[in-house]
Amino acid sequence: MGFDPLEFLETAVETPSHETVEPMRALLCDCLAANGVEPTVHDGGSVLASKGEMDGPHIVLNTHLDTVAPHVPAERDGDVLHGRGSCDAKGPLAAMLAAFLDCEPDRGRLTLAVTPDEELRSHGAAALVPSLDLDGERGDAVIVGEPTGLDVCTAGKGRFEGTVSVEGESAHAAEPHTGTNAITGAAVAIEAIDEFGERSDALSAHPDLGVPTLTPTVVEGGTATNQVPAGCEIVVDRRSVPPETAAGFERDLDDYLRERLGSSVSFTLTERETPFLEAFETSADSGVVKEFQDAGCEPRPFTAATEASYFAREAPTVVFGPGVLADADGPVAHAEREYVRLPEVERAAELLDRVLVSLFRRTGT
């Protein structure tokens, strides 16, 4: 009996992977082994499996094992499968697994690379990408599995996070004029943050991704109800577009705030062990994009930040998969009503089959 992507998908969605990916990783490894492919687990926790030899292009199929909390049990309603991870990203994984098992490259190598913590800090991808030996000049390409409604996404915004710190001077709340209220200063800082966002929007619009966004998401300040607060912090979320980098954003926002409000206000990026997910874009002339278009997939940008950011630094990268982030009724991925249409999962596998065959026939991208 051959591999059944829908049966695998139902089992995968029934398998919680929001707190640990161990059961999901075991399921994937067992499935690969049962179908004659010996997987390995990379140092960073990613599952790897390969076919072919390095005598031509290296094509990588990537998606992730983890899901956001809470777990939502699997429930099938006709051709629709509900449950956590059904579209983000176990639906794409099922389609990629079917295409991987079906593909027998005559030349080149096909790698399935499934990472463990895309929804958190991407430790798996950060450790994995340097070891994959990707070279865009050789015709290598990466297909990242996310819910795109079977469109091929050739660009995506990045995501940076950091904190605006406002310094004041504490005093008794009965004599507020003797101190400097950091929360009052934070109100002014938020206005300046908005002004920076409007200014950068005007300067940085991308033809496909549009404008970057800058959003205050958390405000914390004060330690006592009868004391003028000496400090306040504002966490901001930046959705970037090319060519902005994390370091460039940190420098530009910090300089702007200090120029507008003085040395009592500063900005620093959140410390993390892995690089931020920067925006990416892949040329429409790239072979992987052309093959998806020839297969009937519409090109467009992807609205969420993904690990495509890491892979795109090494080789042409696109995002593709069954399911949608949101529909006419509201959010789908990460929502209580998350679902995927099963015929779309099967169609995704068919499209991946076609694209892989064509890519391995190419001499380069």
- Across the range 13-18, mean pLDDT stands at 98
Handedness of CA 76, 80, 82, 88 (dihedral sign): positive
- 1 vs 4, 34, 35, 342, CA distance in Å? 9, 11, 10, 20
Residue 197 scores a pLDDT above 90: no
pLDDT of residue 228: 97
Give the residue ranges of DSSP H helices in the chain: 5-14, 22-34, 90-102, 123-128, 182-204, 246-261, 287-294, 308-311, 342-361
CA dihedral 66, 91, 56, 130 (to 10 degrees): -10
* pLDDT tens by residue, 145-190: 999 999 999 999 999 999 999 999 999 999 999 999 999 999 999 9
Is the pLDDT reported for residue 253 higher than 70? yes
Given the structure tokens 């960073």, which residue do they identify? Answer: 44
Share of the chain above pLDDT 70, in %: 98
> What φ, ψ does residue 299 adopt, rounded to 5°?
-80, 140
245 has a pLDDT exceeding 60: yes
Closest CA to 289 of 155, 147, 152, 156: 152
- The angle at the Cα of 347, spanning 115 to 75, to the nearest 5 degrees, equals 70
Residue range 65-81: mean pLDDT, rounded: 97
Burial class (CB in 10 A: 0-12, 13-18, 19+), 70: exposed
**pLDDT value at position 200?**
67
Q: What is the dihedral of CA 281, 285, 289, 291, to 10 degrees?
A: -170
Residue 360's pLDDT band (cuts 50, 70, 90): very high
Distances (CA, A) of 281 to 11, 24, 302, 313, 324: 34, 31, 10, 10, 20
Q: DSSP string of 10-74? A: HHHHHS--SS--HHHHHHHHHHHHHTT---EE-TTS-EEEEEE-SSS-EEEEEEES--PSSP---
Q: Tell me: the pLDDT tens digits for 75-116?
A: 999 999 999 999 999 999 999 999 999 999 988 999 999 999
When the pLDDT of each residue in the chain is averaged and rounded to a whole number, the result is 95
pLDDT of residue 55: 85
pTM, rounded to two decimals: 0.92
Q: What is the mean pLDDT of residues 213-231?
A: 96
Hey, is 154 helix, strand or coil? strand
Give me the residue spans of the domains in the chain.
5-156+279-361, 158-269
Fold that domain 158-269 belongs to in CATH: Alpha-Beta Plaits (3.30.70)
271-315 pLDDT, tens digit each: 999 999 999 999 999 999 999 999 999 999 998 999 999 999 999
Q: pLDDT band at residue 364, thresholds of 50, 70 and 90?
A: very low
Above pLDDT 90, what percent of the chain?
Answer: 91
Give the per-residue pLDDT at 201. Answer: 66
* Fold (topology level) of 5-156+279-361: Aminopeptidase (3.40.630)
The residue to which tokens 């899901």 are assigned = 67
pLDDT recorded at residue 294: 97
